[in-house]
Chains A and B, each alone.
Chain A
Amino acid sequence: MLRLTCPHCGITAEETELRPGGEAHLERAGPGASDEGFEAWLFARKNPMGVHFERWRHLYGCGKWFIAARHTVTLEVFGTYPAQTKAPPADLVERIRARLSARGGQAEPGAGAGDGEGGKA
C-alpha cells in the first residue's frame, strides 16, 4: 500500500485514503480534435517501467487533486505537487534526473536514460 504526501494539506496518506486518477498532464481533446488525437485522449496511456507522473485525489482527506512523480518499479516517490499545472515543476524534474543518474540509471529496469522525461516534462 503506497503512501503519498498531499501537497495541499500536508497529510501523508495511505493509498486507501486516495483515489487514483491515472496519467497526469494529458491535453484534453475536445470538439474539432482529430480521430487520432481524440483516441489518444480517451485511451492511450503511458505504462512505463520507470518514472511516472500520475494523478491522485486526497479523497478521504482534503478532497484535492495532486500529482505524484513515482518510480513504478522501485516505488520511489520523487515528489508530489498540486494538480493545477500543465507540467511538472522544473526543480522536481531536475531532482529526478539527479536521483536516476546517481543510481547509475541501470540498477533497476526502466530506470535507464530517457525515463526521467515521463509525462510532459
Chain B
Amino acid sequence: MSRRVTFGGRLIDRHQTMPFVFDGERMCGHPGDTLASALLANGIRLVGRSFKYHRPRGVFAAGIEEPNALVTVGEGPRATPNLRATVVPLVPDLAARSQNRWPSLGFDLGAVADLAARFLPAGFYYKTFMWPRWAWEKIYEPLIRRAAGLGPAPAAPDPDHYEQIHVEVDVLVAGGGVAGLMAAETAARAGARVLVMEAAAHWGGRAPVEGEEIDGRPAEIWVEETLARLTASDKVTVRSRSLVAGVYDHGHVVAVETLDRPLAGGSLDGAVLRQRLWHIRARRIVNACGAIERPLVFPGNDRPGVMLASAVRDHLINWGVAPLERPVILTVNDEGYHTAELLLEAGIAVAALVDLRPKGAGALERALRARGVRVILGAGVTATHGRKGVKGVTIGRVKTGETLTRLACDGVAMAGGWSPSVHLWSHAGGKLLWDEAAQLFRPDPTRPPRGGDGAPLVIAAGAAAGDLEIGAALAGGRAAGLEAAEALGLERPDMPLPASRGRPAGTRSGDWVVPRRAKAAQKERMFVDLQNDVKLADLELAVREGYESVEHAKRYTTWGMATDQAKTSGINGLAALSLARGAPIPAIGTTTFRPPFAPVTFGAIAGLARGPLFKPLRKTAIDGWHEAAGAVWENVADWRRPFSYPRKGETREEAAAREVLAVRQKVGMLDASTLGKILVKGPDAGRFLDMLYINTMSTLPVGRCRYGVMLNEQGFVIDDGVVVRLAEDSFLCHTTTGGAGHVHGWMEEWLQTEWWDWQVFTLDQTEAFAQIAVAGPKAREVLVALGVKGADISPEGLPFMHSCAAEIAGIPGRIHRISFSGELSFELAVPADRGLELWEKLAEVGAPFGITPYGTEAMHILRAEKGYIIVGDETDGTVTPHDLGLGRMISKKKTDFIGKRGLERPFLRRADRWRLVGLEPVDGQTLLPVGAHATDHGINMFGQRRAIGRVTTSHFSPTLGRPIALGLVERGPERLGEEIDFLTTEGETIRARIVDPVFHDREGRRLHG
C-alpha cells in the first residue's frame, strides 16, 4: 500500500493538515500536496476506470502527462471534469470524484466491456454501428456515450470568473526548469522583456528531485536564487501554475494561468477568479518544457501499481509519499538503478531490478547487488498479477518471453527513457529528427517553426531539446537566451555558465516492447495508450487492415488523440507500428502535435464573453420607448426590434394582426432606424451606382427615389433598397437591416480594389439617423398635425417616390415618400439623438387619428400582402432578378454592371427555373409552413420525390381574412390558377393554388394616395 513516509517531502508542510473528500470519503493531506500525492498518502491506489474497457487504473505519473488519474473536482455547476489529479493542488475541503464508473469505483458494471475486449477491437465503432442509420442516433450513440468516456460536463453555468489578458513580450520562456530559468536570465540580461511561465506550482523542474548540483550546491538553491533575481527584475514577468497551451501563427501563444483567487471586492456566492487566459505575442519563444518519461509496453502494464520511475522519485522527494512499498523496477537505462538506490535510502524495499539490457550497468549494478537487491538482466515483465492492483509479476526473456521467475511485489516502476516535450516546437510547424543513440525525437534546429519575419520563432532548450543532462541543459538554456537576444538585435550579455554536476545519461536499450515476440492474447493486454485504451493488438490490427500510415493508424485506433496528445503514448505507438511494419521508427514518422498541450477549460476560452457580453446587441434611439410600451422583441441581424406591441390579453400574433389593420384602416408608425443608410458622394457617384445596381441610378433626378436591386458577380440578388438622390453628386442608399455592413464593405471593395481612380466617397450613416415610417390612409393628416416646415407634403408637392428636406416638428430632417406597406407612407429621417423626441411627438399628435406603433411582424405581413420580397426570405443566394419577376428592372442600355455577365449564363435563363408566385391554400384556412416543398409526380435520380417549389413567406392576412403565402415554383408565373401539393414535415399534404404575388391593392391606388 502507498503511504506517507518521513523521507523527503520538500513541497509539503507537514505541520499542517488539510482535509479533502474523494468519492465521498473524508481524508487528510498537507498543504503543498497534489490531489494525487494526497490520495497516495492515504493508501488510495484505485483512482479511476479506463475510457473504453473500464479497467481499474491508478496514479501513473507525477505531472501533466498523467493518463489515468483523471478526476472531477468540485460540485454542481463548479464541477470540472477530466482534471489530472497529479496537477490539482490540494486546497481545504477539495471535493473530487472518480470518473467513468457505475455504480462505484470498486464495483463497476462497465468492466464487462473488458471481458468482451476481444469483441471491441480498434475500428469497432466504425464497423459495427454503421447500419441501420437511424439506430446510430437512437441506440448506439447514447449507449456508447454512457459506456465510454470521461467525466460528465456540468449541467449549469459556471458561477466563477475567468479573465483574459493580451501582452507583448520579446521572449516567452515556456518551462521553469533550470534550462528555462537560464534562458530567461540570459535574455533579460541582454535587455529583452521576458515572460517565464511554469505549468507546475513549483519551480526547477527535475533538477531538485534528481539531486543535481549547480555551483557546488544543491540545484534547488540555484533555482531559488535565480527565481528571486528574475522576480526582482523589471524586465521579467514570472508566473507559476501557468500552462503554455499552444503556439500559433506568427508567435501568437495561448497560456492558461490558474489563480483560484477571491474576487477583488468579494462576492456573494463565493465566486472566485478561477483562471486567466493569456494571449501572448512573443517575438521569440523558448521551449524549455522538459521531457516526459516513457512507459514500457508489456502484458498487464496498465494495472494500478505500474507507474513511471520518475513519478516514484517525484512523489518521494517532493511530497514524502511512497507510491509503492515493494516494487519491481523495470529499466532500459541507468535510471532504474538510481531509483532503486533512492528507494533503499528512503527505507523502501525493492523486490528486484529488471534490466532489459543484457549487459547491465557495471558499477551501479554491482553496488545494488551489494545492498542485497536482486538484479535480472536481459529480461522484462511478461505478466502482472492482481485484480485491482499489482500483487506480483512474471519475469521473462526480452526476445522470447520465456519465463524466468515470478516475483511478489506491489507495483512496477518503469524507467523507459525520455521523450522531449516537443509539442510547442511542433505546434507552429517545427520538424523533428530521430536521435538513434538516445532513441528519441528531438527538435531539428535546421527546420524550426518560423515567424512572420521568416526567422526561427521557437528555440528549444534543455530536456525539451533532447539535452537530458544538467550541464547540457544549462548550456542549452544559455544558448537559447543568447540566440533570442541576438535575433532581437540586442547586445550579447556577459552571462557565465555555472558549473554543475549530475548523472550521465548512460546507454539505453532499444527495446520498449516485452516480449518482442508476444502471443496474441498477451497483445490484448499490452497497453500503448492508457488514456485512450489502445493496445498493441489494436495497432497491429490497424496495420493488417491497411492503416499503415502513422496518421491513419492514429485515427483508426484513437492512439495519442484527444487530450493525451502523445504524451506518454507517442513513442510507444511508433515502436508498436515499427514492429508491426518491420520498419525503423524514423521511417514510421510522427503524428502531428496539436494545441492545446494540455486541456484548457471553456471558461478560460470564453473569459468575459458570456451572457450579455457574448455579443453586443444593437438598439435604436427609440428602444427604451418600445421597452416601456411592452414590445416583444425579434433579433434582426445584431439589432433588436419590436416584433409587436401586445396589449393586455393579446398574444404577440394577435397584436401584429391588430397593428396591420390599424395601418390599413388608419395609420401606424414603425421604427425603421435599423435600415442601412449609406451616403455615396462624388463626381463619379452615379456612374458607380450604375455598376452596383441592376437598374440605372445616374439618371435619377435630384429629390427622387428609386428602388434598386444589387447582385453579386454570379447574378444572384444580395441586397435591395430605395436609393434617394440628395444632390447632383450625392445619393443615399438604403439597404436591408442586416445588409448595411456588408453592402458598405462591398462598395468599398469595388472602389478600392477595382475602380480606385473613380472619385467616390462612401459613408455608412446607419446609426446617425433615426427613421420612422408613418403609414396608412391618415398618414398625411398626422404629418400636418405634427407640423412640417420648408416642404410641401401635398400629393402634388411630394408625390410617391419623392424625397425632400424639411423641418419636422422643429427637427431638421428628410421626408421620403416611400412605402413598404402598400399604404400612403412617409419615412421621416432625423438625427438619431432626436429620434425619440420625434417618435413621442408622433404618438402624441397621432393619437386622435388612432396612430398605432407596429413591429416587424406587422411590417412583414403588410409587405407580404403586397407581394414585396425580402432579401433572405424570397432569396437564398441562388435567386436572380428574373426569378423574382424583377427582370424588367434590369437596364438594357448599361454595358456593364456587377452580375450582368453572370446573368448571361444559360442556366439562369431556363424557363423551368423556380420563380416567385403567390400561393393560396385551396381550403382557405391552412397556413402553409415556410420551407415546405411542393412535389411533382415521379422521382429524381436519387429516388426522391421531385421538388418543384417551396414556400418562402407565409402569413395569415388580417386584411384578407385568410392565409396567404409567397413561394418560388417551377415555371410559376406560367401556371397561375394551377393547384400543387406541399408536404409538411409531419407528412401531410396541403394543396395550394398558384396566384399573382400581389394580394392587396394590385393597382397601387392606396400607395399613391
What residues of chain A have their CB less than 8 Å away from a CB belonging to chain B? 1-4, 14-15, 19, 21, 28-33, 38, 41-42, 55, 57, 59, 63-65, 71, 73-78, 83-84, 99, 107
Contact = CB atoms under 8 A, between A and B. Distances in A.
A49 to B, nearest CB: 12
Contacts of B748: 57, 63, 65
A83 B753 contact: yes
B250 interface: yes
Given A2-B452, A21-B749, A42-B713, A31 B904 contact: yes
Nearest to B250: A3
Interface in B727-785: 745, 748-749, 752-754, 756
Closest 5 CB pairs of A and B: A76-B454, A84-B756, A65-B752, A1-B252, A74-B450
B985 interface: no
A75 B455 CA distance: 10
B899 to A, nearest CB: 10
Contacts of A15: 249
B900 A30 contact: yes
B895 A31 contact: yes
A31 B896 contact: yes
B749 A65 contact: yes
Contacts of B429: 73-75
B233 interface: no
Contacts of B902: 38, 42
B1002 interface: no
B25 interface: no
A64 B751 CA distance: 10
Contacts of A41: 713
Nearest to B741: A59
Contacts of B713: 41-42
Given A30-B896, A30-B900, A84-B756, A75 B749 contact: no
B860 interface: no
Interface string B799-814: 0000000000000000
Given A19-B745, A33-B901, A74 B896 contact: no
B753 A55 contact: yes
B486 to A, nearest CB: 18
A31 B900 contact: yes
A2 B180 CA distance: 26
Given A63-B748, A75-B249, A3 B753 contact: no
Contact of B901 (A30, A65, A76): A30
Contacts of A107: 447
B249 A1 contact: yes
A12 B748 CA distance: 21
B745 A38 contact: no
B901 A77 contact: no
B622 to A, nearest CB: 28
Contacts of A1: 248-250, 252
Nearest to B894: A31
Interface string B246-278: 001111100000000000000000000000000
B900 A65 contact: no
A113 B748 CA distance: 36
A71 B453 CA distance: 11
A63 B251 CA distance: 25
Contacts of A38: 901-902
Tell which of A4, A19, A75, A77 has the most Cβ of chain B within 10 Å.
A75
A55 B902 CA distance: 23
A84 B752 CA distance: 6
B500 interface: no
A41 B712 CA distance: 13
Contacts of A83: 752-753, 756
A52 B748 CA distance: 23
A90 to B, nearest CB: 20
B714 interface: yes
B231 to A, nearest CB: 30
Given A2-B249, A38-B901, A42-B714, A76 B453 contact: yes
B452 A77 contact: yes
A64 B752 contact: yes
Contacts of B896: 30-31
B752 A76 contact: no
Contact of B250 (A2, A55, A59): A2
Contacts of B508: none
B554 interface: no
Given A38-B901, A75-B452, A3 B752 contact: no
A31 to B, nearest CB: 5
Contacts of A33: 901
A116 B470 CA distance: 45
A19 B748 CA distance: 13
A57 B746 CA distance: 11
Interface in B610-644: none
Interface string B447-475: 10011111000000000000000000000
Contact of A99 (B281, B454, B749): B454
Given A30-B896, A30-B901, A74-B454, 20 more contacts: A1-B252, A2-B250, A3-B249, A3-B252, A3-B281, A19-B745, A30-B900, A32-B901, A38-B901, A64-B752, A65-B753, A71-B454, A73-B429, A75-B250, A75-B452, A76-B450, A76-B451, A83-B753, A83-B756, A84-B753
B891 to A, nearest CB: 12
9 contacts: A30-B896, A31-B895, A32-B901, A57-B748, A64-B752, A75-B250, A77-B452, A83-B752, A84-B756
A15 B447 CA distance: 25
Interface in B859-917: 895-896, 900-902, 904
Contacts of A63: 748
A1 B247 CA distance: 10
A65 B753 CA distance: 7
Interface string B102-139: 00000000000000000000000000000000000000
A2 B753 CA distance: 22
A78 B451 CA distance: 11
Contacts of B752: 64-65, 83-84
Given A2-B452, A3-B452, A31-B895, A57 B749 contact: yes
A63 B764 CA distance: 12
A99 B454 CA distance: 9
B921 to A, nearest CB: 40
Nearest to B453: A76
B383 to A, nearest CB: 47
Contacts of A3: 249-252, 281, 452
Nearest to A63: B748
Contacts of A31: 895-896, 900-901, 904
A29 B749 CA distance: 16
Contacts of A29: 901
A33 to B, nearest CB: 6
B897 to A, nearest CB: 9
B605 to A, nearest CB: 14
A29 B251 CA distance: 39
A73 B714 CA distance: 32
Contacts of A2: 249-250, 452
A60 to B, nearest CB: 12
Nearest to A39: B905
A63 B745 CA distance: 9
Interface string B418-458: 00000000000100000000000000000100111110000
A102 to B, nearest CB: 10
A2 B251 CA distance: 9
B746 to A, nearest CB: 11
Interface string B69-92: 000000000000000000000000
Contacts of A78: 454
A33 B745 CA distance: 26
A19 B753 CA distance: 14
B674 to A, nearest CB: 21
Nearest to B252: A1
